[in-house]
């Protein structure tokens, strides 16, 4: 699977696993740099969402994933 196609939070989790598993700081350095970029992107997305909510903007993109209660309701059906 193309890494760009994965959800950003999944990518952050994967980079955390890779960083912990790195045997040396030399190997961890590029992983941590990529993790920092991914966290920055995630933070920017959250900022834009919060700004859109607080300003009642209609430009707010819809959530791509369902809430947990929605999943539970489908499982109970």
pLDDT at 46: 86
pLDDT confidence band for 62 (50 / 70 / 90):
low
Phi and psi dihedrals of 59, rounded to 5? -85, 10
Picking from 73, 15, 76, 65, the residue whose alpha carbon sits closest to that of residue 41 is 15
Interval 47-56 mean pLDDT:
83
Residue 63 has pLDDT above 90, yes or no: no
61 against 12, higher pLDDT = 12
Q: 14-49 burial, b if ≥16 CB within 10 A, otherwise e?
A: ebeebbeeeeeeeebeebeebbeebeeeeeeeeeee
């Amino acid at each position: 699977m193309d890494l760009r196609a994965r959800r950003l939070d999944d990518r952050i989790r994967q980079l955390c696993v890779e960083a912990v598993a790195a045997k040396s700081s030399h190997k961890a350095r590029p992983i941590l740099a990529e993790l920092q970029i991914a966290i920055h992107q995630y933070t920017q997305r959250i900022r834009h969402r919060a700004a859109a909510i607080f300003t009642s903007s209609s430009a707010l993109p819809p959530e791509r994933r369902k809430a947990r209660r929605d999943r539970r309701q489908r499982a109970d059906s």
